[in-house]
Chains A and B, each alone.
Chain A
Amino acid sequence: MLAEIKTDCRLVDAELDRQFAGRGLQLSPEVQKHLDECDRCRTLYSYLAEEFPADTVSREVEHQIVQTIQGSLKPVSRLRSTAASAAQFMIAFVLISAAVVSRMKVVGFEVMNWQQLVGITTILCSGVVLLSLSLAWQMRPGSLRRIPEWASVGILGAGLVVGILLLFPWKTPDAFIVRGWRCLRAGLILAAPTSLIFGFLVRRGTPLCLRLLGGTLGAIAGLLAVTVLQYTCDLQDIGHLLVWHGGVFLLSTLAGALIGDCISRFGARVR
């Protein structure tokens, strides 16, 4: 059980945040007063201000490392910026989905009214931006994530569910399983090669967590399939959209994460 933290102790926490954010070392009078009164805060603060004991690496190890690196040292061309990488994913998404939709009958456009069309298109576009940024961040170690990877997929999933519930009507299912299964199968068949294309675009980066990368690749491929289904499917009711179209997104995300996890475990074993 942690000791109770007094409100004044939180002033010290905030002061440490300020110092670790690189905004000066000058203590405010309130914090100074609290440090004079509170033993444990004073000790904590003095520990954190103390210079840390420094271990040293042996010269021999450093020399070995330098030799190994210099043995295969060549000039490299830098990875493009995060914005450029994200734009590349978005362009790929638009081109692939436009190419697939153009080869099919766009009955979805005829079935949806303009509110549904604008609403669902906005959600799908936001999803593409979110997932493209997430992939671009994952390609470069040390990128500042405005939104964590898992949250991008979660926000998109929640947005789709809420959007569908608000925009589309509930109808009595007509051949719910037979027609739904057709959509699910077509969506997954489209998502599988699409994820490979996005995987190809990611190949120059250094993703550090393959499970997350796999999940995001699966999610963007699933979203592409959902987009195609949205504009080409004539069943635009809550049940069908949530279960079968949503199922494509969910299954491809899970499959991507699972494949990423397997690759990472297998890679660790080989090493």
Chain B
Amino acid sequence: MRRDERLSEDELRGLMVRYQRGDFEAVDELVRGLSPLLWRYLTSPHTSRSDTEDLLQDCWVQIHRSRHTYRPVDPLLPWVFAIARHTRLDGYRRRRRLESRETLVATPPEAVVRRDHFASPDATRFTHLLEKLPDSQREVLLMLKVSDMSLEEVARATSSTVGAIKQKAHRAYARLRDMIEKEGK
């Protein structure tokens, strides 16, 4: 989904309010409008496609349970991403626990197939660089870049402060510059 195809913040808020009132159509539009953003956020090089689908479903269940906590005066994306972030951390812990107990008896599930062939070479290169960043820095850049959130919105989504988010973003830029320089040599 390209930036100009996305629903605007006002449209999303309107859908969320209708969802809180129990409107069936709003659920459909909201799920279709937000799922691609959530999918991109929940995808990681360490998760299979089926794991990411499970995470997305868990995330929506949590959004559904918490829908009464959203207030239309606040932006919607930070609220959604705060829940998504929690779901992702929860999923990561659960997966680690399971992995520590399980023995591999079959072929591992397919990894998430990226549609990199639709993207420009620069975008693909950047995606690979992003994957080398520490989780907390990658998360901040993903929210800023992919979800098109502002610094304040990312601070809200990560239960942090604008200053801390700026600091993480600056560290990420420094690392990326370093990687770009190494790749160039």
Instruction: Give me the interface of A with B, judged by CB distance under 8 Å.
Output: 2-3, 5, 9, 12-13, 16-17, 20-22, 39-41, 43-44, 46-48, 50-58, 61-62, 64-66, 68-70, 72-79, 81, 137, 139-149, 204-206, 208-209, 268-269, 271
Contact = CB atoms under 8 A, between A and B. Distances in A.
Interface string B87-98: 000100110010
Contacts of B178: 2-3
Contacts of B184: 39-40, 43
A142 B78 contact: yes
Nearest to B154: A20
A87 to B, nearest CB: 16
**From DSSP, what is the main secondary structure of chain A's interface residues?**
loop
28 contacts: A3-B177, A3-B181, A16-B173, A20-B151, A40-B181, A46-B122, A47-B125, A50-B126, A52-B40, A54-B118, A57-B35, A57-B39, A61-B35, A61-B56, A61-B57, A66-B28, A72-B64, A75-B22, A77-B68, A78-B20, A140-B71, A141-B66, A141-B69, A143-B156, A145-B159, A148-B160, A148-B164, A149-B159
Contacts of B94: 268, 271
B74 interface: yes
Contacts of A77: 68
Contact of B127 (A53, A69, A204): A53
**From DSSP, what is the main secondary structure of chain B's interface residues?**
helix
Given A56-B39, A69-B27, A208-B82, A50 B122 contact: yes
A68 B57 CA distance: 9
A20 B169 contact: yes
A133 B26 CA distance: 32
Contacts of A39: 180-181, 184
Contact of A53 (B53, B114, B151): B114
A232 to B, nearest CB: 37
Contacts of A271: 90, 94
Nearest to B119: A53
A139 B79 CA distance: 12
Nearest to B87: A208
Contacts of B36: 54-57
Interface string B31-48: 110011001100100000
A57 B62 CA distance: 18
Contacts of B145: 48, 52
B158 to A, nearest CB: 9
A21 B71 contact: no
Nearest to B78: A142
B68 A53 contact: no
B81 to A, nearest CB: 7
Given A62-B31, A143-B156, A54 B115 contact: yes
Given A2-B175, A20-B150, A51 B68 contact: no
B20 to A, nearest CB: 5
Contact of B66 (A54, A68, A206): A206
B61 A68 contact: yes
Interface string B52-67: 0100110011101111
Nearest to B122: A50
A142 B129 contact: no
B83 interface: yes
A141 B82 contact: yes
Contacts of B22: 73-76
A79 B71 CA distance: 8
Nearest to B77: A142
A91 B32 CA distance: 43
Contacts of A51: 2-3, 119-120, 123
Contacts of B61: 68
A268 B93 contact: yes
Given A70-B24, A204-B68, A54 B40 contact: yes
